[in-house]
Amino acid sequence: MALKRGFKQLLAEAERKTVGITAADAQARLGDPDTVFVDIRDVRELEREGMIPGAFHAPRGMLEFWVDPESPYYKAVFTPDKQYILYCAADWRGVLAAATLQEMGFERVLHLAGGYAEWKKAGRPTAPRPQPKDKH
């Protein structure tokens, strides 16, 4: 079956609409209360590889539901006044997710160029995935 648009075309279209940020520039924003790092990888990737310290985990499959205030799954961390830096392992999902958030109306969205792999390769800080709090 021939697809109308394959993943390479989808990525190219998303890259034209979005802005990437280098690991060095992103690291300079760590700790900035106006910037939210959003890790969109699968939880197994976080457990295996760690994550950027202080990042918020929003699995790619839930992102649209978590950012929409009208969704029953809305997460208050997503407000239009913040700067968001989305990242995944290699930046494919990050680029697509950044384009989606822009289509939804978020204006301050970046994706981490090269993803978490580039972040780690450059020796940037990492942390283990925070453990969920006990509900008892």
State percent of the chain over pLDDT 90: 90
> 122 pLDDT band (50/70/90 cuts)?
very high
26 within some domain: yes
Structural domain tally of the chain?
A: 1
Residue 98: per-residue pLDDT = 98
Within-domain flag for 41: yes
Q: Judge whether 12 lies within some domain.
A: no
How do residues 75-102 score in pLDDT, each as one tens digit?
999 998 999 999 999 999 999 999 999 9
Q: Is 53 helix (H, G, I), strand (E, B) or coil?
A: coil
The yes-or-no verdict on residue 66 having pLDDT over 80 is yes
Can you give the residue range of the structural domain that contains 103? 17-121
Q: Within a 10 A sphere around the Cβ of 52, how many other Cβ atoms?
A: 23
Return the CATH number at 71. 3.40.250.10
In a domain, 50, yes or no: yes
Asked if residue 102 belongs to a domain, the reply is yes
2-14 pLDDT, tens digit per residue, is: 889 999 999 999 9
For residue 65, being part of any structural domain is answered with yes
Whether 131 is covered by a domain: the verdict is: no
* Average pLDDT over all residues of the chain: 94
